[in-house]
Amino acid sequence: MQIIKDIYLDFYDNHFVTVNAKQNDTGRYIRAEIIKDGTGFEIPSGAVVSIASETIWNNCEVEGNKILAPLSKVMLDTAGERICQLEIVKGEEKLTTVSFQLKIEKSVRNDGAIEGNMELGVLDQAISDAKRITQEAETTEAARKTAENARISAENTRKNQETARVNAETSRVSAENTRKSQETARGTAESARVNAENTRKSQETGRVNAETARVTEFATLKADAQEATARAEAAAAGDISGKTVTYTESTAATAPASGSKLSLISGWLVGKVKNLVTRMGTAETSITALNSNFVGCTFYPNLFKNYTTLPVEHTAVVCPCTAYAVRTGKYLHINYMLTVEANTAAGNDAANTYFDFGMNLNPMKTSFFPNDVIKSCSRNECIYYKKSTGIIDIEKTSYGAYAVYNSTYNVMNFGRFYTNDGKMGAWPLKSFYVGLIIKGTIDIILQ
């Protein structure tokens, strides 16, 4: 329950305004519109407004561009006249209106006969604000604790994820370093293979040329010998099988003319035959030297259940291997072909057991490098196809890109990368069906 008195107050015009009130009332308000030089003054947003009189001041409310000021009980507790003013404060700036007068009429009631509470005005408001602020602080603190717990949980999750990321990155870097190392080794082996292949081609070209020259030379000498024989027979005018001839060996390039003496013809023929024998011996030596770089062997590799530890041979699969090697110094390029001839366990492998396919290189070592030690070993290619049709087994060929050399057991493992079934470097035993051909190349660098 309240009553409101509307007044106008100016910052400059000291026209005195009087407001009548009753002693001890608590529901009286004045609503003041502030004037500046005859025009309305716009109260700044965020400004704090209060009504003040001597030691009393109370906060006011701002309604649009007007100030609603309470006439508190303390302000009206004494009959008489009281001078008041309105104060507008924002930050460090303060504006005060001209003063106005409260004319307080004495109450006819004896307030001393009853108990009452003195209104403290600003103090009561401060206490109320303090309680409100305390409650808001408690609510805010509870929210802060909840947020802090959520932050701690999120931080722990982040740390775990960061640890996992670091571990994954470490694994990736390690795998990348391994890949680079293997790629370097593969590049070195590839260079060695290319050099060996070029050497082989060069040697093969030399051997073919030497063989061609030998055949040509032999044919020429044979023809020369036949011609010389015919001339000798003609010169002797008959059979000469039982006759002897005294001759001087000749190295002349041109055959004797028709009608020459038999001794001259015989000497030239003997010289040519000796030259032929010498050149054929030289060609044979060259061919033997060339062939010493081409070595072949046949052996039976094994299926290993685990090639990384002690190899366990699985004899159910029989697949002989034919290997052909070209060696240049410390570099060895091997072509191999394996054919699965029998697999007695393929139809009985209900558990679909997975095996590593490991080729034991010891038979190759015996044939190709008995006195050397493998420094590194890598596989260039590996193709799987069916013997009966010659069609490539796409599944195995695409998976069979994984090869690891185990120096402890001298085993080259043929497997596959990780697949959806989680198997790495392993095949089901039944995959080695009869008629499967595995063909590829290996590059070896010897110490």
User: Which amino acid makes up residue 278?
Assistant: T
Res. 428 pLDDT band, cuts 50 70 90 = low
- Residues 148-186 as b/e (b if ≥16 CB within 10 A, e otherwise) read eeeeeeeeeeeeeeeeeeeeeeeeeeeeeeeeeeeeebb
Gap between the Cα atoms of 261 and 247, Å rounded: 10
Segment 199-223, tens digit of pLDDT: 888 888 888 887 888 778 777 777 7
Report the relative pairing of strands 18-22 and 100-105 from DSSP bridges: parallel
How many Å apart are CA 280 and CA 278, to the nearest integer?
A: 6
Q: What is the pLDDT of residue 154?
A: 94
Reduced to 3 states (helix: H, G, I; strand: E, B; else coil), residue 59 is strand
| Closest C-alpha among 380, 384, 11 to residue 197 | 380
Residue with the larger pLDDT of the pair 146 and 441 = 146
Q: Give the pLDDT of residue 197.
A: 83
pLDDT > 80? residue 82: yes
Report the pLDDT value the prediction gives residue 76, as an integer from 0 to 100.
92
Higher-confidence residue of 1 and 61: namely 61
Indicate the pLDDT class of residue 306, thresholds 50, 70 and 90: very low
Angle between helix 262-291 and 122-236 (nearest 10): 160
Q: What is the pLDDT of residue 389?
A: 82
Q: Tell me phi and psi for residue 97, to 5 degrees.
A: -75, 170
Sorting pLDDT into bands at 50, 70 and 90, what band is 160? very high
- Mean pLDDT, to the nearest integer, of 74-94? 92
The b-or-e profile of 84-105 (16+ CB within 10 A means b, else e) is bebbbeeeeeebebbebebebe
pLDDT at residue 241, as a whole number: 59
At 238 the pLDDT is 54
CA gap 70, 191 in Å, rounded: 100
Percent helix, strand, coil in the chain, to 5, is: 35, 30, 30
How many Cα atoms within 13 Å fall on the side-chain side of residue 111? 13
| Cβ atoms 358, 311 nearer than 8 A | yes
User: Which of the residue ranges 10-14, 75-79, 304-308, 438-442 has the most confident prediction, judged by mean pLDDT?
Assistant: 75-79
> In terms of pLDDT, which residue wins out, 309 or 314?
314
In this model, does residue 339 exceed pLDDT 80? yes
pLDDT at residue 364, as a whole number:
72
Q: How confident is the model at residue 37 (pLDDT cuts 50, 70, 90)?
A: confident
Q: Is the pLDDT of residue 147 over 50?
A: yes
In this predicted structure, the answer to whether residue 311 has a pLDDT above a threshold of 60 is no
User: What pLDDT digit, counting tens, does each position of 218-274 carry?
Assistant: 777 777 767 766 665 565 555 555 667 777 787 787 888 877 877 888 788 878 777
Q: Does residue 330 carry a pLDDT above 60?
A: yes
Residue 404 has pLDDT above 80, yes or no: no
DSSP-derived 3-state class of residue 369: coil
pLDDT > 50? residue 307: no
pLDDT at position 168 over 90: yes
Q: In this predicted structure, what is the pLDDT of residue 257? A: 84
Domains and CATH numbers, the chain: 3-107 (2.60.40.3350), 208-291 (no CATH), 294-446 (no CATH)
Confidence bin at 290 (pLDDT 50/70/90)? very low
State phi, psi for 367 to the nearest 5 degrees.
-85, -40
Residue 421 φ/ψ region, left for φ over 0, alpha for ψ in the -120 to 50 degree band, beta for the rest: alpha
**C-beta atoms surrounding 427 within 10 Å:** 21
Q: Are 343 and 316 in contact (CB under 8 A)?
A: yes
pLDDT at 401: 46
pLDDT one-digit tens code per residue, 347-380: 555 455 566 566 667 777 777 778 888 887 776 6
**What gap in Å lies between CA 275 and CA 281, rounded to an integer?**
10
pLDDT band, residue 424 (cuts 50/70/90): low
Q: Give tens-digit pLDDT for 111-130.
A: 555 444 444 566 777 788 88
- Tell me which of 383 and 300 has the higher pLDDT: 383
Alpha-helical runs (H) found in 25-64: none
Contact between residue 378 and residue 442 where contact means Cβ atoms under 8 Å apart: yes
pLDDT at 395 over 80: no
Mean pLDDT estimate for the chain: 77
Phi, psi (deg, nearest 5) at residue 341 = -100, -25
